[in-house]
Structure 1
């Protein structure tokens, strides 16, 4: 294999979780050119990754014009296409990219499976969000026909460290606690009122807290409700000021990260910091943050009030329906999740005390 294309056309966290697959491909074919194609705005997690030759951005919202441009860029230029998600578009990109070998993930049941199986050299069947295999290992299975040795290194590769901006570098102490409050979807959002109460408890106990988040309106609306809990430097708002490389620097300096089921939590886990994550309806067996030092003897179970896997401590609600693997109680992205609402700040604060 001289040229390999990895198709990772999902959200940021899922893109980051392709890095063990990319490293395994690099180990199998040390001289190969490995490119990654992904959605606009999602490939920042891969910038500076030494295993990757180039990043190709696609803009599906631009319609056929973008599709034609992508096809011109990749048409039959690769020896192997690795399709890391089951969408029709991802598989079409894989078919266009390679005339020889295509390895892809398909759902257990789907009306389009028939044609995907016909164009694939190797098929990995996903059991979906209720499955018993973590998505990292599911992606690794794409290399099964070619990998000549048992895969030992399944670490997620965090982006290379970049220094903090000077105005933050002088303020953040080694004992800081990083808190990421925003979630992309409401059904994964721990209530902001809960976050506010937790911040008040942390600061009252003498901890410095650093808020993280993007410059998006969703993240800023969330963080706006927390900024007045305490003045700087007891509470520092770094939202909108850091790229992923600088976030890794922040995580490696601080002593603890607290966050929901979101991409930044996956990045924190890969950086090696102690992580306390708050999970709602999502199945941790499939989507639990991948630890910085994976151990096949340790893995998540579907439900436990608290569970620890290396540097990750994961809290879940205690309701009988947890995890439902649905998009909240109403099964849509804007839904509430009662299992997150009933996870009270006092319980999370007590776990912080235990971890520290």
Structure 2
């Protein structure tokens, strides 16, 4: 069967309604924002909507360039077959009613391809994933973009590559994280309620949903003690997950400094963004908050282990990556058992992180 044509779409094509599809985690959604910016600059009068998973809505809900967020709730399937099907049909009807001219499918799931096709859009762009090379995937898109260089590209660059048929250059587009003034006021009042914390402060997020991405608790405590002084308070953050909250409590128990507070599990993602945006420095592991810090242009120190650095390093110029692989051998990222309790970041020396932090703080 013939492939959908990959050539550039004529300049005469000016969409009025655009749908962007990405069905992944929180950090992935943040890394779609350069695509949103690029589309808006090329088509300033177009309406731009996004289809995403419900739990990731906070990453884009305050974005000023978006008209509407459609979502898929992963809990639909728990409601039984009939209700699940009803939700899916309702979503398709809603998307068709929006009369999209252009759909850009950044996802790799079969579901995303079927939805793309059923929107009825004139132009439907997707990626030519090797694992999806069959008739269903081909005929769900009018244009497929090569993924041959994806291994050499950052996730942002991969996403932007989907705009090639539109003649949009893939360089020069920053990521963005937005929040409301109410988010900042709520965050600020929460800070003031904890020992009258005011700026300046440092945010440290040592947790991840995956233990293998975490540094050792005693080293985090050592970092807190080393950076706590009369000019900076330390704010620890984490998701409202029992394992992450337990990790924060353990770190606090190891700290000698009293100039540290925990807001773990107390902030929404936009409120966390506000906290990070007003911080002197962010230090964290490979996680959504790290990507938020980079997008907000807050000075960021990112600790990495056996993760694909090329794809997931912080996107921006105001950051420093400290990679455990520079201090000890690491296993291949593709070989990791994500349920392991091993902490591959343990090879990172405390003094290296302290030195990197002080360099930022002294600037």
**Same fold (TM > 0.5):** yes
Q: Which has the larger displacement, 27-36 or 241-250?
A: 241-250
Q: Which residue of 1 aligns with 2:359?
A: 354
Shift of 1:337: 5.4
Q: Which residue of 2 aligns with 1:68?
A: 89
Tell me if the contact between 1:280 and 1:316 (Cα under 8 Å) persists in the aligned partners. yes
**SS of match in other structure, 1:351:** helix
Q: Which residue of 2 aligns with 1:300?
A: none
Where does 1:172-251 land on structure 2 (aligned, <5 Å)? 172-203=197-228, 207-229=232-254, 234-251=259-276
Q: Which residue of 2 aligns with 1:168?
A: 191
Q: Which residue of 1 aligns with 2:299?
A: 274
Which of the residues 36, 59, 72 maps onto 1:22? 36
Shift of 1:198: 2.1
Instruction: Answer with 1 or 2: which has the greater Rg.
Output: 2
Where does 1:1-356 land on structure 2 (aligned, <5 Å)? 1-63=15-77, 64-65=84-85, 66-75=87-96, 77-107=99-129, 109-127=130-148, 131-147=151-167, 150=169, 153-161=172-180, 162-163=183-184, 164-169=187-192, 171-203=196-228, 207-229=232-254, 234-291=259-316, 310-317=317-324, 318=326, 322=330, 324-326=332-334, 331-336=336-341, 339-356=344-361
2: CA distance, partners of 1:114 / 1:188: 38
Q: Which has the larger displacement, 54-63 or 205-214?
A: 205-214
Aligned residues: 332
Cα distance 1:206–1:26, how it changes in 2: closer, same or farther (>3 A)?
A: closer
Structure showing the higher helix proportion among its residues: 2
Cα distance 1:7–1:345, how it changes in 2: closer, same or farther (>3 A)?
A: same
Provide TM-score, normalisation by structure 1: 0.84
Structure 2: 5+ residue stretches without partners: 1-14, 78-83
Shift of 1:269: 0.7
Provide TM-score, normalisation by structure 2: 0.83
RMSD of aligned residue pairs (Cα, Å): 2.6
